[in-house]
């Protein structure tokens, strides 16, 4: 078998999204969330197909009406009927790799981030999506056991290097996905299922991240040899030290070529507090689609710097900010909610 996990900037057939059928992940904000989703779907649909999971025909009709009101072309939307617990397709959805040049969907046995007990419906998302797209589905196992991994914990350059975090995958007691797994175990899985020969391990994630350290709030590849990483400039902020540690690790890291990656820093927005809770707002949660990068913004002075920095990183892409001030109340934004489907 010869697998390769393509980078996000490679050509996509479409993006998988799931329209929330309840507001449980956004208490008190469900009305606003529906329109935030409509705007997100619209921006993706201008570039490529949207594979949109909805609960049933009834919800499809309601969502279609919302989309039409916002002038979305429904020809660019392919509905998939499946009742879910949540809408975080990055983590419950399939990861599509190339296996000897052909697409293969990987099922990583989603378990609610080893935190929430209501995930049973989400576990069937890979099956439903792969059947709809006619892509063969493979259950990921290691030494005979199912492996649990979320897309939000994995970031690749498509050439053999993967970024992840120790907090998410290796913490001995908190949200343990695969009890007893070592770095070596994970790296064997990355090699087998992603064609990854080189793993860069960061340390801890940002405060408020209920996934406990997902990489897609921390550091992202913007091309095969450049990584953007978020840093906090306020030394009093609890994110300052862990993000400095991650920056140090990245500066000491090497790519699969043996060369040092180029490192670009992104700012953090000012701390976002809602109902007394610190929310994990991060500009690193952008989504790369065909010809375009969609960037979460937070009504913050640093929005401008983040957009400009990413514009420098993606000279051939349009850079579009999408207000994520309501979405982030669910503890994730654009990248967490989506899963790209390579061509």
pLDDT of the residue at 76: 99
- Predicted pLDDT at 251: 98
pLDDT digits (tens, 9 = 90+) for 7-28: 999 999 999 999 999 889 999 9
Chain-centroid distance, C-alpha 60: 24
Q: Which residues pair with 49 in a beta bridge?
A: 14
pLDDT tens readout for residues 240-260: 999 999 999 999 999 999 999
Read off the pLDDT band of 237 (50, 70, 90): very high
Q: For residue 53, is pLDDT > 70?
A: yes
Interatomic CA distance for residues 252 and 260, integer angstroms: 8
- The rounded percent of the chain whose pLDDT value lies above 70 is 100
Q: Say whether pLDDT at 117 is over 70.
A: yes
Which tens digits make up the pLDDT trace of 166-205?
999 999 899 999 999 999 999 999 999 999 999 999 999 9
Q: Which CATH number applies to 3-338?
A: 3.75.10.10
Segment 117-121 mean pLDDT = 94
- For residue 58, report the phi and psi dihedrals to the nearest 5 degrees: -60, -45
CA-to-CA distance for 75 and 89, rounded, in angstroms? 22
Q: What share of the chain is helix, strand, coil (3-state, %, to 5)?
A: 30, 25, 40
DSSP string, 256-279: TTSSPPEEEEE--PPPEEETTEEE
Q: Which residues pair with 327 in a beta bridge?
A: none
Q: Which residues are catalytic?
A: 336
Of 91, 301, 238, 259, which Cα lies nearest the Cα of 175? 91
Every domain of the chain and the residues it spans: 3-338
d(CA 10, CA 64): 29
Torsion sign (Cα): 289, 291, 297, 299:
negative
Answer yes or no: is pLDDT of 1 > 90.
Answer: no
Q: Are 14 and 48 in contact (CB under 8 A)?
A: yes
Model pLDDT for residues 300-314, shown as the tens digit of each residue: 999 999 999 999 999
Name every residue whose Cβ is closer than 8 Å to that of residue 259 and which is 6 or more positions away in sequence: 225
Q: Is the dihedral of CA 13, 16, 19, 25 positive or negative?
A: negative
Distances (CA, A) of 136 to 4, 97, 99, 106, 139: 15, 11, 10, 9, 10
**Which pLDDT belongs to residue 282?**
99
């Amino acid at each position: 078998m010869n697998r390769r996990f393509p980078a996000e900037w490679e050509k996509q057939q479409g993006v998988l999204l799931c329209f929330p059928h309840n507001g449980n992940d956004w208490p008190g904000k469900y009305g606003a969330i529906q329109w935030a989703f409509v705007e997100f779907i619209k921006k993706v649909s201008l570039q490529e197909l949207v594979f949109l999971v909805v609960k049933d025909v009834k919800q499809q009709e309601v969502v279609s009406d919302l989309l039409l009101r916002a002038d979305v072309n429904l020809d660019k939307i392919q509905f998939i009927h499946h009742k879910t617990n949540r809408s975080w397709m990055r983590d419950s959805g399939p990861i599509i790799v190339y296996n000897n040049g052909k697409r293969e969907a990987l099922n990583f046995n989603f378990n609610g981030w080893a935190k929430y007990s209501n995930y049973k419906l989400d576990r069937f998302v890979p099956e439903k999506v792969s059947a709809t797209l006619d892509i063969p589905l493979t259950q990921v196992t290691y030494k005979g056991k199912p492996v649990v991994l979320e897309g939000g914990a994995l970031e690749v350059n498509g050439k053999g290097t993967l970024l992840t975090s120790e907090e998410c995958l290796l913490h001995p007691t908190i949200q343990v996905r695969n009890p007893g797994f070592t770095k070596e175990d994970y790296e064997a899985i990355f090699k087998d299922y992603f064609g990854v020969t080189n793993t860069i391990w960061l340390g801890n994630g940002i405060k408020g991240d209920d996934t406990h350290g997902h990489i897609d709030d921390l550091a992202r590849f913007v091309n095969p040899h450049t990584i953007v990483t978020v840093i906090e400039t306020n030394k009093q902020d609890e994110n300052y030290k862990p993000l400095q540690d991650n920056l140090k690790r990245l500066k000491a890291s090497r790519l699969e070529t043996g060369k040092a990656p180029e490192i670009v820093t992104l700012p953090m927005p000012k701390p976002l507090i809602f109902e007394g809770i610190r929310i994990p707002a991060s500009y690193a949660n952008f989504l790369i689609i065909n010809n375009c990068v969609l960037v979460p913004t937070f009504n913050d002075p640093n929005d401008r710097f983040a957009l400009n920095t990413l514009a420098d990183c993606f000279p051939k892409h349009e850079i579009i900010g999408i207000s994520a001030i309501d979405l982030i109340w669910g503890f994730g934004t654009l990248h967490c909610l989506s899963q790209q489907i390579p061509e």
